[in-house]
Structure formats: C-alpha cells, structure tokens
Chains A and B, each alone.
Chain A
Amino acid sequence: MKKAALWLALGAVAFLAALWAAPQAEGLWSALFPEVSRPAYVQESWFVLLGSHLALSLGAALLAAMLGIPAGIAATRSSGRALRPVVDAAFTLAQSVPPVAVIALALPLLGFGAAPTLLALVLYGALPLLRATVTGIESVPAQITEAARGLGLSPWQRLTRVELPLARPVLLAGLRVAVTLSVATTAVGAVAGARCLGTPIIIGLTNANPSYVLQGALFTAWLALLLDRALSLLAGPQSSP
C-alpha cells in the first residue's frame, strides 16, 4: 500500500516534470518530426491545460457524484422504488450513445466552450455512480439491515452506519469508472472548444502537425493512467483488478 503510494507520487512528479520539459524539448520533437516546422507546443502552458482539464473533469465528477449518489440512495428507499426501473433504462439507453454524440448534440444549444462538454460529463458521470450506489446498497445482505433495524437504528443511522460503509467498495469502483470516462470525455470536448489536454491533439490534427498530436495524446493518456492508479489506491486492495 505504502509502496504503491510512493510509486504513484513518483509518477505524478515525473508527469509534471515532463509537462515542464515539453516546450523546452524542441530538439526532441524536431528529431521525431523533422518535417514539422514548429514541433513544440508553446501556444499555452501545459500546466494551464492540465489545470483546466482537471477542473473540468474532476469538477464534473464531483457534480455527478452530488447528483448520482443521492439519487441512487433515493432509488433504494422504499418510497423511491419507482425510480429504479427508470435508472436502469436510462443507463441502458445512455450506453448506446457515445459521449461525443452528446457533446455534439448539445453544441448548438449551449455554444462553443466548456458547457456542452460539462453537460455530457455530468450525464456520463452521474449514471455509473447512480448505478453503483444502487447495486452497492442492494448488495448489503438483508440480515444485516434487519439486524440494524432490530438494534433500534433509525433509517438515517442505518444508511450512514451500515449500508453506505458496506457499499463503499462498489461505490468506489463506480467512482473510478466515472472519473475514467470523465477524463476521456473532457479530452474529446476539445472538439467543441473546451480547453484541455485534448486541445493540442485537435489543433495538431486540423493543422497537420503530428508533433502536437503526439504531445497532447501522450499527456492525456498519462493523466488518465495516473488518476486511475490513484483511485485504485483509494479503493483499497480488494477492488483493484
């Protein structure tokens, strides 16, 4: 556990160092892409792009958690049962629509910028979290909730002391899925004008600059892998693959 955290910290430091070094490493990029006249991406600082990527994807994941987890709790209460089939159906439907389609469809309504991406992010983050909350709470054995009721715990106490702690591994797995999706969807959001690590990829693709594409893709993938490691560490050893 300690060792894994150390490796993660080292990975994060290496990532930040690479972000710092990328604009300086003109020589490396021009060696890789001799035909490109300006191979180093210097339009914006990589740290600014990283910051807005993280703000957008983690902010959306937070928003999604604020929507998805309470809704999932509501769907498992006896008064909220009606919500359950709607949740499952929405989840099924959403899976056949790629996130990029949601971004594209929201674009004419919300305009260029981060807004369409944010909508898609919240939608695609809330659903897995909602689903994970429902499965997590429903996986708590009935005897345990019965016993908690027998001990005289109030519904609120049963939820916070019994159901949610026992649902934690499933919930964290759902959070991991939501964050992975969120980081990936943010990168695609560059198409709709969201500023993020995907922006150099899009600029590179539209201006036939493979060097920008490589740098953007490298850092986007690196960030996604780092965040996934961090979340699997958070989820504890039992739920890591």
Chain B
Amino acid sequence: MRRAHALALTPLALMAMLAPWWLGWIAVAPNRLLSPRLAALPDTEPVTLAWAAFHVACLALLLAAWLPHRRRFEEVAAVAAMLALVATLGLGASAALPEGAPLARAAPAAGAWVALLVLALATAVAATLRGGTPTIPLLAAVVGTGLLGWAGLLDSLSLVREATGRAAELRAALGGHLFLSTSALLLALVVALPLSVLALARPGVEAGFLGAASGVQVIPSIALFGLLIAPLAALASSFPALREMGLGGIGPAPAVIGIAAYLLLPLGRGLLAGLRVAPADLLEAARGQGLSPRQVLWGVRVPLGAGVMLGALRLAAVQAVGLATLAALVGGGGLGTIVFQGVGQLASDLILLGVLPILALSLAADAALAALSRLLPSAA
C-alpha cells in the first residue's frame, strides 16, 4: 500500500520541484500590451527564503510518500509547497519589477503554473489514496493564497493588480455567480423534490422524470440557453407583469432555467436513492404503528436517506457553479462575464481573474455541503 503512495507521488514531487527551474518562475512585461519575457528569480533574501521553503515542502512531500503513513501529512506538505511557491512568485515579482516603471507587469511563468497544477494533482492523489476527496486541502490552499494576498505579499503580480483595478466589477460578478447557481439549485429542488416523492409510488413517474432529465443532459448547455431565449422573450412581451419581475429573453432567466434543467438528473437520482434507503421492514413497521404516509416520509424516509440526498445536493451544487459560467453568454452575468471579456481581449490575466474564483467557489460549495453532511446525526 505504501508503495502506491511512493510510486505515484515521487514523480509528481520531483516534477513540481524542477518545473519552475526549467520553464521559468516569473515573466515580466514592460506593459500590458507587450508580451512577457522570462525573468530570473531575484536573489533577495525574502525570495531566497521563500523558494527554499518551497523546496523543503516538496522534499517533505517526497519523504512523506516513502515513510510509513502519517495522517494527511502528504496533503499538508503539498499545500505548504503550493503556498510557498505562491509566496515566492509574489515576492519575486515585486523584486523583479524595475523601479519607476508603473506600467511593468510580472506574472507567473509556465514553470510556476505547471508546478502549481502538479501539486494540486499530488494533493488529489494523496486524498484519493486515503479514500477521501481533495476538497478540504485544496480549499486550504485557496484560503492561504487569499491570506497571502491580504497581507500584501502578492500585490506586484499582474493578476492581483487587475483584481484591485476591477474590484467592484469582480464583486458584482461574484455576487451574480452566487445568485445564478443558488437560484438554479433552488429551482431544481422545487421541481425534483415533489417528483421524487411522487415517483416512489409510481414507477411511471420515475421513468418519465429520470428519462426526461437524462435527455436534457445530452443537449449542449449553450444550445439549451439559446433555445430558451426566444420563448422567454415572447413570454415577457405578452405578459408585462413577468417582465417587471425580471424575466426576459436575455438575462439571468434562461441561464437559471437551463442550469436547473441540468441539475434535475443528479438531484432526482440522489433524492430517489435517498428516499429508498429506509429498509422495507422498517417502513412496514412504521405503517403498522399507524403512521400516515406523510409521517412515514418525514419521520422515516427523509432522516434515514438524508446523507445520500445531501451527497446529491453537493454534486448538483458543484455542477451549478460550473454551468453558471456560460450564463454570461446570454447576458446572465456572473464570473463568466470576466472570462469572456478576457477571451475577447485575449488577456490571460482577465481570464484567470474569472476562472480562479469559479474554481474557488466550486471548492467552497463542495466543502460546505460536505461539512453539512458530517453534521447529520445519522452519519455518526
């Protein structure tokens, strides 16, 4: 078993350690328009300290993979390596930027990105081998990066400059993204919950509901959003009351409805599986005691299946965050707005500024629902 850890993690740790030396740590450009060039890592004291810490953490990961297992030590080492690398990049960028050139920009180079990606993969590998998910350690890396940024260590990176320059826009996009994904999740729940309860007794409803939900999965999301625009616009123009409520062809409405349609399958499957967790003899006994169908549902089926149902909710929440990216195309707002703005200008900083919060958000949603399911009494 230890051999599996060593075999999988050794190449990853070595790759993370060597990639920045080979493919570059940071790249500096005289301004936003000129293409960046690789810059040597400045040998100031804080920078040296930071990259030394990065290497120590990588070696700790390597060591942890070979030594008898300590709980989560590999994941801790990988996250520490990621944070040390981010600190190296931030400190290196501020030291590498020429004095008196406010337009100059420094960004992580390919080697640093490869190392970060490989370390994220190593975290996931360690978590998989432990039999868990990498959500918590990766979220820790995100929060740690946030703290480094809050401490001002990353201020010289062009991505952070872009973020401070567009703080208001970013906040609005983040709020829009949260609104889109939560309202789609709620809409999907409102549809899936009664249908699942109904399907318990009627196999016909189950076949129809799950069949339709899996049919939707096949349709590309961009096509589904597009197909919803025209009918919603027609609806809004014939019922002005609906338009006053914010429903229209262009805007969040087609995206929310479309995202909710994709969530019906994971939610429906999970809710039905959860409702079926209660064993037949227990249900029989509950009915024998004179419990009404409603009491059986809320007193027996729901509490026993809550874990499974929350698992489905977790899957759906992560999907909702990802799907909401495309809402920007139909004018629905969200972080996709920043991504597609970056796509239009071919600006990688802007694209990252949109993509990174999406990843952080999906990690946070996953972690929050995982924590919620751990709070359940039935899980204990």
Contacts and interface: CB of A to CB of B under 8 A. Distances in A.
Given A108-B346, A108-B347, A180-B218, A210 B124 contact: no
Interface residues of B, number: 57
B125 A214 contact: no
B220 A183 contact: yes
Given A85-B8, A89-B134, A180-B217, A220 B230 contact: no
A220 B134 contact: no
B362 interface: yes
Contacts of B195: none
B47 interface: no
B120 A93 contact: yes
B343 A191 contact: yes
A224 interface: yes
A184 B230 contact: no
Given A202-B329, A224-B218, A105 B127 contact: no
**Which DSSP category, helix, strand, loop or mixed, fits chain B's interface?**
helix
Nearest to B134: A92
Interface in B328-372: 329-331, 336, 339-340, 342-343, 346-348, 351-352, 354-355, 358-359, 362-363, 366
Contacts, number: 156
A207 to B, nearest CB: 12
B144 interface: no
B358 A101 contact: yes
* Size category of the binding interface on chain A: 35 or more
Nearest to A83: B8
B251 interface: no
A69 to B, nearest CB: 21
A90 B127 CA distance: 12
Nearest to A81: B4
B318 interface: yes
B95 interface: no
Contacts of A198: 220, 222-223
A201 B221 CA distance: 12
B359 A107 contact: no
A241 interface: yes
B305 interface: no
B127 A89 contact: yes
A112 B214 CA distance: 33
B249 interface: yes
Interface in B193-225: 210-211, 214-215, 217-225
Contact of B220 (A81, A89, A108, A221): A221
A191 B329 contact: yes
A104 B214 contact: no
A111 to B, nearest CB: 8
A101 B355 contact: yes
Contacts of B120: 93
Interface string A87-111: 0111011011110110011011000
A216 B129 contact: no
Interface string A14-37: 000000000000000000110000
Interface string A200-229: 011011000010011011101100110010
B234 to A, nearest CB: 9
A134 to B, nearest CB: 13
A104 B217 contact: no
Interface stretch (B49-57, B97-105, B319-327): B319-327
B7 interface: yes
B64 to A, nearest CB: 15
Interface string B212-247: 001101111111111101100100000000000000
Contacts of B363: 96
Given A93-B120, A108-B346, A85 B326 contact: no
A107 B220 contact: no
B8 A82 contact: yes
A86 interface: yes
Nearest to A98: B322
A121 interface: no
Across the A-B interface, the 3 shortest Cβ-Cβ residue pairs: A217-B226, A82-B7, A89-B124
Interface of B: 4, 7-8, 12, 120-121, 124-125, 127-129, 133-134, 210-211, 214-215, 217-227, 229-230, 233, 249, 318, 322-323, 325-326, 329-331, 336, 339-340, 342-343, 346-348, 351-352, 354-355, 358-359, 362-363, 366
Interface of A: 32-33, 81-86, 88-90, 92-93, 95-98, 100-101, 104-105, 107-108, 112, 180, 183-185, 187-188, 190-192, 198, 201-202, 204-205, 210, 213-214, 216-218, 220-221, 224-225, 228, 241
Given A85-B128, A101-B355, 19 more contacts: A84-B4, A86-B8, A92-B124, A93-B134, A97-B359, A98-B326, A104-B340, A107-B351, A108-B347, A183-B220, A184-B223, A187-B223, A188-B220, A188-B326, A201-B226, A205-B331, A213-B226, A218-B227, A224-B219
26 contacts: A84-B8, A89-B121, A90-B121, A92-B124, A96-B359, A96-B363, A98-B323, A101-B358, A107-B346, A108-B348, A183-B220, A187-B220, A188-B221, A192-B343, A198-B223, A204-B226, A213-B230, A214-B229, A216-B223, A217-B225, A220-B222, A220-B226, A221-B224, A224-B218, A228-B218, A241-B211
